[in-house]
A and B are shown apart, each in its own frame.
Chain A
Amino acid sequence: MKRLIYTTFVWAALLLGGCVTGNGTDKQYDTIGKSIWEAVRLDLNRIHDILELVVKAEYILTLESEEQREEFIFNQFSGSEVSIDDRHIIIKSPTTYDTYYTTTILTNGATIREAGEWQVVRTGGWGYTLTLRSTNKGIEAIFSDIRHRESRGNASLLLDYDYSGLGSAICLMYSGQLVMIDDDASKDKPLTLTATITAPITYYNTEGMTDGSMEIECYDELYDNRDVVGVDILSEPYRVALSYDIWEDEYNYDRI
Chain B
Amino acid sequence: MKPLRHILFLLLPMLSIYSLNAQQYNTVQNTYVYTVDEVAKQADIDTEISTEAIRNSIRWRHNIRIGYALPSLLSGLLLIDFGDEDATTGQHPYDPTLSDQLNDAHYYKGKQRMLSNLTAEYNYTFKPWLSFGAKLSYAGIWQSTRHISNDKVVSYDGRHIIGVIANVRFDWLRRRYIQLYSSIGLGVISIINPDNTTVLPLPDATYLGLSAGNKLYGYLEFGGGISGSLRVGLGYRF
Complex: A138 Cα to B93 Cα, angstroms? 47
Chain B residues positioned under 8 Å from A225 (CB to CB) = 102-103, 106
CA distance A27 to B150 in the complex (A): 11
* A159 lies within 8 A of chain B by Cβ: no
Closest Cβ–Cβ distance, residue A5 to chain B (whole Å) = 9
Min CB–CB distance B120 → chain A (angstroms): 13
A76 contacts chain B at the CB level, 8 A cutoff: no
- Does A74 touch B at the CB level, under 8 Å? no
Q: Is the CB of A19 within 8 A of B111?
A: no
With a cutoff of 8 Å between Cβ atoms, the chain A residues found around residue B9 in the complex are 11, 14-15
Q: How far is the CB of B157 from chain A (nearest CB, A)?
A: 12
Are A191 and B101 in contact (CB-based, < 8 A)? Answer: no
Interface residues of A in 221-245 (CB under 8 A from B): 222-223, 225, 227, 245
Task: Identify which of B14-22, B129-137, B173-181 touches chain A.
Answer: B14-22
Residue A84 lies at the interface, judged by CB distance under 8 Å to chain B:
no
Minimum Cβ distance to chain B for residue A114 (Å)? 41
Task: Give residues of chain A (67-117) contacting chain B, Cβ–Cβ below 8 Å.
Answer: none
Q: Which of B41-92 contact A (CB under 8 A)?
A: 68, 83, 87-89
Residues of chain B within 8 A (CB-CB) of A7 are 12, 15-16, 19
Q: Are B105 and A8 in contact (CB under 8 A)?
A: no
B108 near A15 with CB under 8 A, answer: no
Stretch binding the partner chain, chosen from B141-149, B162-170, B185-193: B141-149
Q: Which of B103, B111, B112, B148 is in CB contact (< 8 Å) with A27?
A: B148
Scan A1-21; emit 1 where CB is below 8 A from any B CB, else 0: 101100110110011111111
**When the two chains form their complex, are residues B114 and A18 in contact, meaning their CB atoms are under 8 A apart?**
yes
- For the complex, is B234 an interface residue (Cβ under 8 Å from A)? yes
What is the bound-complex CA distance between A25 and B140, given in angstroms? 20
Q: Is the CB of A22 within 8 A of B111?
A: yes
Interface residue? A29 (CB, 8 A): yes
- With A3-B19, A4-B23 known as contacts, the answer to whether A227 contacts B102 (CB < 8 A) is yes
Q: Are B148 and A28 in contact (CB-based, < 8 A)?
A: yes
**Is A24 a contact partner of B105 (Cβ separation < 8 A)?**
no
Size category of the binding interface on chain B: 35 or more
State whether B110 touches A24 (Cβ < 8 A): yes
B12 in contact with A14 (CB, 8 Å): yes
Stretch of A52-60, A129-137, A179-187, A248-256 at the chain-chain interface: A179-187
Q: How far is the CA of A10 from the CA of B19 in the complex (A)?
A: 14
Task: Kindly state whether residue A35 has any CB partner on chain B within 8 Å.
Answer: yes
Tell me how far the C-beta of B36 lies from the nearest C-beta in chain A, rounded to whole angstroms: 25
Please state if A36 and B102 are interface contacts (CB–CB under 8 Å). Answer: yes
Shortest distance between the CB of B104 and any CB in chain A (Å)? 8
In Å, the complex CA distance between A184 and B219 comes to 60
A32 contacts the other chain (Cβ, under 8 Å)? yes
CB <8 Å contact, A185 and B98: yes
A140 contacts the other chain (CB 8 A): no
**A19-B16 contact in complex given A32-B105, A185-B97, C-beta closer than 8 Å:** no
Residue of A nearest to B151 (CB): A27
A21 contacts B103, C-beta separation under 8 Å: no
Q: What chain B residues lie within 8 Å of A19 (beta carbons)?
A: 2, 5-6, 113-116
The answer to whether B12 touches A24 (Cβ under 8 A) is no
**Is A4 a contact partner of B19 (Cβ separation < 8 A)?**
yes
| Residues of the B chain whose Cβ atoms lie less than 8 Å from the Cβ of A27 | 108, 148
A21: contacting residue among B104, B110, B113, CB under 8 A: B113
Indicate whether B109 reaches chain A with its CB closer than 8 angstroms: yes
Name the 5 nearest CB pairs between A and B, nearest first. A22-B112, A185-B99, A18-B113, A31-B105, A28-B105
